[in-house]
Structure 1
């Protein structure tokens, strides 16, 4: 695992009566080279940490690289980790994927790789690269960088546009994920899968766990007990949050950021996290459970289950 988080590019933390917002104070706020996409919570160096994924593209919108920013929620400090793959000769190459969603289980980080299944990365064996390798793998002028290496590709019979966690009604994390499809029409599906428990296992579909909510532009989904939460983007307008049981999702009054993407449940802080991808509107937003009607018993819950 990496050393304590650095403070470069520290996001600004701003709390209102309705939300907790993190906004970048650097070029990340407006660059059109990198776009934030996925979000999840975990424990890093013994501290509660928010993970935000990004993909880099060129002017022709070809994917060039991807990374994850690990944000210490108490200090608002962060550290970037580039996602990479190892070739047959051992040479590292950038992971050229959209990273539309994250699911973080201990040292295992799972990323949605649209049309390419789910990619797994090892956070226990981060590597430091320097010089030309650091610049090539991060798409920046950095002299050194941390990288997480892909360990497996998990084929899934869905488009794998996004990826979210599942919790029971008491806030306990379950070894399950929701994998969903972004579609411009209302034919995007969300499937529930059991996590690969050991080497050689794949994602196993949960019987009756595939739903088609009929919502266009789906961007993320999570489940708390029997209640699903799904995000829907609407270009530069505020996103929509849909909630309810399978087969009966309804649009909630609570808006999401413009250009909303992935969702993550945070039982410890009692928040639902989302983020907006558009330059100049970029925000990582926590919405209190109280505004969403989520009842959560008192007591701290583990994020790394």
Structure 2
């Protein structure tokens, strides 16, 4: 972890008409809360399911939860980002939030977030959308490689542009506006009906923090709550190049240059978080090979076992959590810090 120039990673606010579009849509559909969504969640996770995700990892994680069979086998959707209710500080129940991106180029369906309860093992998807002031809306075609929630604001990594922001106060339930969920093959407002590819919940984007200069890639995002002031962390995945970076901003987020920035010195980093004076890096390998957890403490580097396809990182209940992405191996898992 080598300090580097902060200036290239500066962000500027570009709200545009996003907030107006979101307010228009929320006013017509009506919002609900994360607690209510989880109370009626329609999918089931399995504790210690999909063990193939762990590969040769020893010791195994202290706990892990597998997505349901339908989400295990799909080749259309891939989980990427992970955050939790403790990151928010304002959600009243334990929850994980995992982002997924739609892979096929044809029939783009954008990105979604799963809200998952570690207590009930129930979860529910919500589609993230971009609304316009006239009340229309559509999918968001990005990778969503990382997410982090602070207060009511959900930050989503946009690889080439920076950070998209979604206000969880605008968690919209289509069932409050109409008796059905519309056409599962359509998105947006058509006549007097709302459609979201069959999803019950949508969350419109409300803000945007864009890169001030072209070049930096925003692959993942997390929050360090271990110090006196929480910090937002972003970083870049590079396939075969150890030159990927991480940077930290104070929250409440205000853009500009980060507090500090580092070159990580490792390729294939899918997620990173600083916590208690250490850096934790989630390193991928392949769809059949275990990844690694790299822990930097000053000049010391520790390599720890990790599952296959590890992604973004978050901390909840004193454990480090991540999510895995590959077909048949999709789990949220926790290990000791």
Shorter-normalised TM-score: what interval?
Answer: 0.7 to 0.9
- Counterpart check, 1:152 vs 2:203: no
Q: Partner of 1:188 in structure 2?
A: 244
Aligned pair partner of 1:252 in 293, 303, 326: 303
CA shift at 1:148, angstroms?
0.9
Q: CA contact under 8 A between 1:4 and 1:45: conserved in structure 2?
A: no
Q: CA contact under 8 A between 1:213 and 1:249: conserved in structure 2?
A: no
TM-score normalised per structure 1: 0.82
- Residue ranges of structure 2 left out of the alignment (5+ in a row): 1-32, 50-58, 175-180, 189-193
Q: Partner of 1:294 in structure 2?
A: none
- Counterpart check, 1:202 vs 2:265: no
Once the two structures are superposed, residues 190-221 of structure 1 have per-residue CA deviations (whole angstroms, 9 ceiling, x without a partner) of 11112345xxx325410xx2111210011000
Q: Partner of 1:298 in structure 2?
A: none
For the residues of structure 2 that align with 1:139 and 1:10, how far apart are their CA atoms? 24
Q: Per the alignment, do residues 249 and 67 of structure 1 end up closer, same or farther by CA in structure 2, a change over 3 Å counting?
A: farther
TM-score normalised per structure 2: 0.74
Question: Runs ≥4 in structure 1, deviation > 6 angstroms?
Answer: 137-140
CA shift at 1:90, angstroms?
2.7
Aligned pair partner of 2:101 in 55, 63, 70: 55
* Secondary structure class of the residue paired with 1:186: coil
Q: Partner of 1:281 in structure 2?
A: 329
For the residues of structure 1 that align with 2:323 and 2:62, how far apart are their CA atoms? 12
- Counterpart check, 1:14 vs 2:62: no
Larger Rg: 2
Aligned pair partner of 2:281 in 201, 213, 230: 230
Structure showing the higher strand proportion among its residues: 1
| Count of residues paired in the alignment | 275
CA shift at 1:37, angstroms?
0.3
Q: CA contact under 8 A between 1:31 and 1:279: conserved in structure 2?
A: yes
CA shift at 1:79, angstroms?
1.8
Q: Per the alignment, do residues 249 and 148 of structure 1 end up closer, same or farther by CA in structure 2, a change over 3 Å counting?
A: farther
Q: Per the alignment, do residues 11 and 139 of structure 1 end up closer, same or farther by CA in structure 2, a change over 3 Å counting?
A: farther
Q: Partner of 2:69 in structure 1?
A: 26
For the residues of structure 2 that align with 1:222 and 1:145, how far apart are their CA atoms? 32
For the residues of structure 2 that align with 1:140 and 1:27, how far apart are their CA atoms? 19
For the residues of structure 1 that align with 2:205 and 2:120, how far apart are their CA atoms? 29
For the residues of structure 2 that align with 1:193 and 1:225, how far apart are their CA atoms? 16
CA shift at 1:13, angstroms?
1.3
Higher RCO (C-alpha under 8 Å, 6+ residues apart): 2
Q: CA contact under 8 A between 1:271 and 1:288: conserved in structure 2?
A: yes
Q: CA contact under 8 A between 1:257 and 1:274: conserved in structure 2?
A: no
Q: CA contact under 8 A between 2:184 and 2:197: conserved in structure 1?
A: no
Q: CA contact under 8 A between 1:13 and 1:21: conserved in structure 2?
A: yes
- Residue ranges of structure 1 left out of the alignment (5+ in a row): 290-305
What's the Cα RMSD here? 2.6
Q: CA contact under 8 A between 2:79 and 2:98: conserved in structure 1?
A: yes
Structure showing the higher helix proportion among its residues: 2
For the residues of structure 2 that align with 1:221 and 1:165, how far apart are their CA atoms? 9
Q: Partner of 1:121 in structure 2?
A: 166
